[in-house]
Chains A and B, each alone.
Chain A
Amino acid sequence: MSQFNESKSHFIEQLPETVLDKVGKAIGPFEEVTIQVTTDMVDTHRYGSRWLVVTNHRLLVLAPDDSTPEDMQISMQSLKTVHMEPMVGGGRLMLVPYDGESVCLFYSNSLSLKFAEVAEGIKRLIDGDEPNLPLEMDQTRCHKCNRLLPEKGGICPACIKKTDTLFRLLGFIMPYKTQALLLVILTLFTAMLQLAPPYIIKFIIDDVLTTGQSADQLYFYVGLLFGLSVILWVSEIVRRWLNTWVGFRAIEDLRTGLFGALQLLPLRFYDKRKIGSLISRMNNDSELVEDYMIFDAPFILSNAVLVIGIIILLFTMNWELALFVLLPVPPIIIVASLVWDYLEDYWRRWSIQWSRLTTHISESINGIRVIKAFSQEAYEGERFEEHNQSLRKASVSSERSWLVFFLMTNFFMSFGAFFVWYFGGLQILDNKLQLGELMAFIAYIWMLYTPLQWFSDYYSFIVRAFAGAERIFEVIDANSEPFDQTDAVPMPLIKGHVNFRKAAFAYDPGKNVLRDIDLEVRPNEMIGLVGESGVGKSTLINLITRFYDASRGSIEIDGVDIRDIRLADLRSQIGLVAQQSFLFNGTIAENIAYSKQDASFEEILRASYAANAHEFIIKKPDGYDMLVGEQGRRLAGGEKQRIAIARAILHDPKILILDEATSSLDTATEKKIQEAIARLVAGRTTFAIAHRLSTLRAANRLVVLDAGRIAETGSHTELMARKGIFYRLVKTQQESSAIMAVKG
C-alpha cells in the first residue's frame, strides 16, 4: 500500500491510517492515484478535513473519521465537469456528475490555490489527458518547524540557520579582513582596559590612603589612571573609526549585490512579489543589517568581553563575595526577558498609533480642498483628536512600562550592592578584606549589571538583523535571467521573421492566458493585435520580448527557438513603445539616448526630428537639457510619448512593439504621433496593440484574440466583411464615439 503514501508531488499528501484503509478497499490493484489532497473544512460550519483521492478511474471523497459527512465515490466516466467557486474567505470545489447530485468540497482561502490546480488537473483527467499538476507550490508552512509562514514561499523567521547567515555576512567583511581583525583586537583591548580603573582605585585606597604613606605613590596611581583614560580614549576613537570604515563598506557591497540581483531577476519574480516589499528589502532590511554591523555587533562583543572579564576578576579577588554579586543576576535576566516582551508590545502599539496620526495628517493636508468644499473641518478635527488621544495613551503606557522595567532591574541590582556592603563589611571587620577591594567590588557590580539589563535585547537585535539579511540573500540567490547562457546562439543581425508554434502561456499554472497560438509573421510585416482587454494581447508581446517563456509550444525568430537565442542579442534588437512611456529622472537628451548610451548629439537630433519631438523640445527653455523630473512628470503625455518614440527610433530595432502607443491623446497630438510611428515602423517587423481600432489601418494584417486563442486573422476589409468579433468591436466603438460626439 506504500504507493499511496509516497510524497512524489505536492498533490499526493500523506494519508492518515483510517483514510488509507478506505482507499485500499475502494480502488483496484492497478489503479494509479494521481491526486490525493485534503481540505481544511468539513463543511461551511466546521474546520476539519475531507480527503479527495483521484485515480484514473474514480474520485473518492473521504472523511478521516465517522462523525463527518458520508464518503462519496464518483467514477471518472460519470463526471461531467468540476467547478471551482470562489467565496468570501474560501471557496468550494464542485464535482458535477452527468446524473445525480453534485459533491462539494469546502476549503478556506489558505488552500484556494491548491484547489485551483486540483480543479484544472481533474478537468484534464476528464478529457483523458495527464493531470499535469505543477511540480512546485509555494509553501504556506515552514517545512522544518511547521509554523505558518508570514509570506507564502518565504522564509521562516524562526528557522533561519543563524550560523549560515552569520558566515555569509562575515563573507562581506572578508575583503577588509585586516581591518576587521584589527577591529576585533581593539574591541577586546578597550573592553579589558575598562576593567582596570576600579582596580587602580583599590590600590589607591589600600596602599596609599589607608596606610598614610607619602604622596609619591598617589602621583603614580593617579598618573596611571590618567594614562589609562588617554589610552582608552585614543583606542576608542580608532575603534569607532575602523568600525564605521569596515561596516559601511560591507553594507555598500551588500546593497550593490542586492541591486544587481534585482536588475537581473526575471519579471516573473516581480509579479509574485509586491513592489513595496522589494523596496523595503532594499531599504529597511539593509538598514537592519547596517545597524547590526555598525552598532549592535561591536556593542554585543565588547559587552560580552566586559561581563566575562569582570566575573573572572571578581572571583580571583574574593570568590565568596563574588558569589553574592552573582546572586541577583538570574532574577535580573529573568525579569528583563519577561518585561522585554511587554516593552516591545507597547513600542509597537505606540508606533502604530504614531503612523495612524501621521497618515491622518498627510491625508487631511492632501485633501484640504475636499475638506473645505464640504466644510468638514470640525469632523476632521474630531477624528484627529481621537487619533491624538490614542497616541497619548500609547505613549503614556509605553513610558510607564519603561519605568517599571528600569525600576525593577535597578531594584535587583541594588540588592547586589547591599550584599556586598553587608558581607564585605563583615569581612573588613574580620580583617579578611581591605576597604579598597570592597570599593572595587562596588564599582564592578554596576559595570556588570548594566549590560545584563540588555541581555534579552541582544537576542532580538540579532534575530531582526539576521531575518533582514536572510531576506536580502533570498533575492540575491533567486534565479536570474539566463544572460550568461553559454550554449546560446548569437544573433547579431535579426531579419525579423517571427513564428509562433502552438504557443501557450499561463502566469499561474493551470490558468492558461494564451493557448494554441499559431502565427507566422514575415520580416517587415506590421501586425495589429485586437481584442477586448484581458484576452492576452500584452501577454503575447511579453513572449516575443522573452519577459516570459511560453509554457508550451515555441516561438521562433528567423527559424531559431527564442529560448536558444542569446538574450542580449534578442533584447537589443527589440524596441518597445508603451502607453505609459517611462522616463527616467534626467534630461530629455539622456532619456532619448537611454537605448544607446554612446549616441552622438546629431543622432539624438535626427531621432527626435523623426519622432516629431524636436518641435516641442526646442521651445523648452533648456531645450534638450531640460530635466524631465521623476517619471517625466514635467512633460505632457504626448511629449513623453514622442520622447519614447525617439528613443525607439534611435535604438533602431528589427522587431518593434507598440503597446497602446497612441491612446489617450488629443487629435492634433495623435496625428503627429501617428506620423512619427509611420516613420518608425518602416523596415521593421511590428506588433501593435491599439485600443482605438482605426489606428490599426496601417497594419498589414490584424489578429483578433479571444479568450487566449486566435479567433480571426486578415486585413481590415476582410475582417469587416466577415462580420465576426472584429466587426462587432468596430461597431461598438463607432457607436460609443458617436455618443461621445453628441455629448461633447
Chain B
Amino acid sequence: MTSSISKISDRTEQPPVIISHPGDVAGSQLRLTRDLKQILHLTIDSDRTWSRVKVVRAAPLTHPDRYISFLDEKGVEICMIDDPGSFNEETLNIINEELDRRYLTSTILSVRSIRNEFGTSYWDVETDRGEREFVVQNAEEHVRRLGSHRLLILDVDGNRFEIPRLEKLDRKSLGMIERTL
C-alpha cells in the first residue's frame, strides 16, 4: 500500500482541475485514501490526484451531512459533493473520520453549574467528550441560537459547545442556561 501512495504523491505537481459546482462530480467518481503519515489523497476517476487534501463542510451548522467540499493544499476547492450517499464505503468512512476530527464541537449533556460574574459566565459542564470548564464573555455575541431549541456556544478561546436540543436537557441544566441567556 505504501508504495502506491508514494507514487501518487510524486504526481502532485499536475495542474489542479477545479470543478466547483455540486453535482458536476458524483461521489462514486471519488476515491479518498490516507497514508501512514496521515496525509489524505483524493483521486477523481482514477486519473487525477491531489495530495494533502482537506475535507470540509460547506455549512457545518445547518447542513452537516451534505455539501462536502474537498480542498487542495492551498485551500482551493477541488470539488463539492452535495449527496454523500454516492460515496463508496471506504471513502465515506475516511470522510466521516476526517469531518469528525475537524469539527471539535462538544455536545453539552448536562450543566453542573454556571456562575455569572462581572458580565462573564463560568460554565462547568458534562459533554460527550468528558467534563469541561469554560468561560463565555459577551453572551449576546458568543451564544448563537440556531432555531428555537439549538444553541452554539463559543468560549473565550474559540472552543465550541453545542446543545442540539435544549428541551432534552434535564430541568436543572435548562434552568441554569435560561438564567444565563
Contacts and interface: CB of A to CB of B under 8 A. Distances in A.
Interface of A: 41, 44-48, 87-90, 92, 94, 96, 100-102, 104, 106, 108-110, 112, 140, 147-152, 157-158, 341-342, 344-345, 348-349, 352, 355-356, 463-464, 467
Contact of A47 (B122, B132, B180, B181): B132
Contacts of A352: 139-140, 181
30 contacts: A41-B104, A44-B100, A45-B129, A46-B129, A87-B102, A87-B104, A88-B60, A88-B160, A89-B104, A89-B158, A89-B160, A90-B159, A94-B38, A101-B36, A102-B37, A109-B157, A112-B157, A147-B122, A148-B122, A151-B137, A152-B156, A157-B120, A158-B117, A341-B116, A342-B179, A345-B116, A348-B116, A349-B181, A352-B139, A352-B181
Contacts of A157: 117-118, 120
A110 B120 contact: no
A87 B38 contact: no
Which DSSP category, helix, strand, loop or mixed, fits chain A's interface? mixed
Contact of B38 (A48, A102, A110, A158): A102
Contacts of A108: 104, 157, 159
A352 B102 CA distance: 33
Given A47-B131, A89-B103, 15 more contacts: A44-B100, A45-B128, A46-B130, A87-B102, A89-B158, A92-B101, A102-B37, A108-B104, A108-B159, A109-B158, A147-B122, A149-B135, A152-B156, A344-B116, A345-B179
B89 to A, nearest CB: 21
A355 B101 contact: no
A57 B102 CA distance: 32
B20 interface: no
Contacts of B127: 47
A236 to B, nearest CB: 33
Given A46-B129, A352-B139, A463-B118, A151 B156 contact: yes
Interface in B133-156: 133-135, 137, 139-140, 155-156
B28 interface: no
Contacts of A47: 106, 127, 129-132
B173 interface: no
A110 B157 contact: yes
Interface in B63-107: 100-106
A87 B60 CA distance: 13
A157 B37 CA distance: 45
A87 B103 contact: yes
A355 B140 contact: yes
A41 B129 contact: yes
Contacts of B37: 94, 96, 101-102
A560 to B, nearest CB: 43
A157 B130 CA distance: 27
Contacts of B140: 352, 355-356
A158 B180 CA distance: 19
A7 B14 CA distance: 50
- Report the 8 A-B pairs with minimum CB-CB distance, sorted nearest first: A89-B104, A47-B130, A90-B104, A110-B157, A89-B160, A109-B158, A148-B135, A150-B120
Which DSSP category, helix, strand, loop or mixed, fits chain B's interface? mixed
Nearest to B60: A88
Contacts of B103: 87-89
Contacts of A356: 140
A341 B129 CA distance: 31
Nearest to B143: A352
Contact of A89 (B118, B139, B159): B159
Residue from A41, A96, A151, A348 having most chain B Cβ neighbours under 10 A: A348
B104 to A, nearest CB: 4
B36 A345 contact: no
A237 to B, nearest CB: 36
Contacts of A147: 122
Contacts of A151: 137, 156
A655 to B, nearest CB: 38
A100 B137 CA distance: 44
Given A140-B157, A150-B120, A88 B100 contact: no
A87 B101 contact: yes
A45 B127 CA distance: 10
A88 B102 contact: yes
Residue from B104, B160, B180 having most chain A Cβ neighbours under 10 A: B104
A549 to B, nearest CB: 29
A112 B106 CA distance: 17
Contacts of B139: 352
Nearest to B132: A47
Nearest to A344: B116
B109 to A, nearest CB: 13
Residue from B127, B130, B157, B159 having most chain A Cβ neighbours under 10 A: B157
A90 B103 CA distance: 8
Contact of B36 (A100, A110, A152): A100
Contacts of B36: 100-102
A89 to B, nearest CB: 4
Contacts of A341: 116
Given A41-B129, A110-B159, A88 B134 contact: no
A563 B119 CA distance: 42
A104 B122 contact: no
A87 B99 CA distance: 10
A48 B130 contact: yes
A158 B159 CA distance: 23
Residue from B37, B122, B128, B140 having most chain A Cβ neighbours under 10 A: B37
A44 B128 CA distance: 11
Given A102-B36, A349-B181, A148 B104 contact: no
Contact of B105 (A88, A94, A158, A464): A88
Given A104-B38, A108-B157, A109-B158, A345 B180 contact: yes
Contacts of B156: 148-152
Contacts of A101: 36-38
A368 B101 CA distance: 43
Interface string B105-116: 110000000001
Residue from A45, A94, A464 having most chain B Cβ neighbours under 10 A: A45
A113 to B, nearest CB: 9
Contacts of B159: 89-90, 108-110
A673 to B, nearest CB: 36
A150 B180 CA distance: 16
A464 B117 CA distance: 9
Residue from A44, A112, A147, A148 having most chain B Cβ neighbours under 10 A: A148
Contacts of A150: 118, 120, 135, 137, 156
Given A87-B104, A101-B37, A109-B159, A464 B122 contact: no
A148 B101 CA distance: 26
A385 to B, nearest CB: 15
A123 to B, nearest CB: 16
Residue from A150, A152, A342, A463 having most chain B Cβ neighbours under 10 A: A150
Contacts of B101: 44, 87, 92
B100 A89 contact: no
A112 B157 CA distance: 9
Nearest to A353: B140
Residue from A44, A48, A89, A342 having most chain B Cβ neighbours under 10 A: A89
A110 B181 CA distance: 23
A102 B116 CA distance: 43
Contacts of B120: 150, 157
A152 B128 CA distance: 26
Given A102-B37, A158-B117, A44 B135 contact: no
B96 to A, nearest CB: 12
Nearest to B105: A89
A464 B130 contact: no
